[in-house]
A and B are shown apart, each in its own frame.
Chain A
């Protein structure tokens, strides 16, 4: 089998991601889950009418998710120990949806 070479990969893929699930009052928990990563087709081209530039900008983002909830360890009394995070089922090059997503650029 041939491994995908990340240095040259283009497209948008589900890819493993590890992070520390933490909230104040609880111990942290290392979590490995599926997230999205890739390189999407993007361009800026001249056009003949104002504003003279046409942009096509898409980012690799979640297309379909399921939510997972885990219980953080050793939480202080009165602190909700449950932590919910998204798991990528499918990722696609698309517009970042500000309704569901914190959209950051550059």
Chain B
């Protein structure tokens, strides 16, 4: 569930019992920072410069919740048979409404 209200916020994901990503069957735990929230965007008739250049009659402008600062981390998961496995990932340190990754949809 997302936090209510506008803004892009740092949230800890993967507390005990919630895996960071499916595909590591039976393993639990690990925690790292994510950025979640609602950023402003809009769409309107294109301004003249856009009409002249691209002929698109409508223009969209948007920002999306992104990791402003992040660090590489190793997280430890508890796996079946009391095994512990370590995984590389990235943990957000701060969040910001910024460039949407249009090409990553």
Main secondary structure of the interface of B (DSSP, over half): strand
Main secondary structure of the interface of A (DSSP, over half): strand
Could you tell me how many residues of chain B have their Cβ less than 8 Å away from some Cβ of chain A?
Answer: 60
Cβ distance A93 to chain B, nearest Cβ, rounded Å: 8
Whether A61 contacts B43 by the Cβ 8 Å rule is yes
Give residues in A with beta carbon < 8 Å to B.
7-10, 12, 15, 17, 19, 22-23, 31, 33, 35-49, 52-55, 57-62, 65, 67, 84-86, 88, 91, 95-96, 98, 100-106
Give residues in B with beta carbon < 8 Å to A.
2, 4-6, 8, 13-14, 20-21, 23-24, 30, 32-48, 50, 54, 56-67, 70, 72, 75, 87-92, 95, 98-102, 104-105
